[in-house]
Amino acid sequence: MGGTKTYYNPLNGEFARIVASSEDTNGEYSLLEVSLSPGGGNPLHYHTRFTEEFFAVKGKLGLQYERSTVYLGTGEQQLIPIGIPHRFFNDSPEEIIFRVMLRPGQPGFENFLKAMFGLVIDGMTITRNQVPKNIYHIAVMHNWGDTHLASLPFRIFSPLVRILYRRAVKLGIERELLERYCG
């Protein structure tokens, strides 16, 4: 089942593997496995098309959601509903491993993961928050990943991002990202 390739993000020390793709599960879910170095994590964000369920495999996974911070130990899990701002992090001195199930399956998010890590490796992002340098790449990543940063500037910018995505498709930029990173 699923892809066997592991993707690496040197900005946050994250390795990710698609264990079961949306295609593998007939769209029921996508299952990812993540290894996160000490100090790694992502910015506060939310999704509008899917839930995320986190499963701690090794170590203590930090999750911030709503107004809470929780730590999941091996074997524990936490469901994050659609629309709830959240982030994961590792504030321990050891590498942690966790799985995350996206329901329903998300082929777009799978492409988001592949392309975003590729853009990071190719030096095509800025800041630790992994923002692509190219505005059209931002629009494509936003569409594929359904990942909305939980900040006022991002919410103000979102309508423009949708317009830019349509332009990125017309210009062939989405196709280029698919061919370069997701093929």
Is 11 in the same domain as 92? yes
Q: What is the pTM of this model?
A: 0.90
Number of domains into which the chain is organized: 2
> Are 99 and 117 in a shared domain?
no
Q: Answer whether residue 1 is part of any domain.
A: no
Residue 154 structural domain: 108-182
β-bridge partners, 9: 14
Domain boundary among 78, 106, 134: 106
b/e per residue, 36-75, with b = 16+ CB within 10 A?
Answer: bbeebbbbebbbeebbbbbbbeebbbbbebeeeeeebeee
Same domain, 53 and 82: yes
User: What b/e readout covers 128-161, taking b as 16+ CB neighbours within 10 angstroms?
Assistant: eebebeeebbbbbbbbbbbbbbeeeeeeeeeeeb
CB 132 within 8 A of CB 74: no
Cα(167)–Cα(165) distance, integer angstroms: 5
CB atoms within 10 A of CB 79: 12
| Domain termination residue (choose one: 83, 106, 129) | 106
Question: Which whole number is the average pLDDT over 40-46?
Answer: 88
| Tens-place pLDDT, residues 118-176 | 999 999 998 766 889 999 999 999 999 998 888 777 778 888 999 999 999 999 999 99
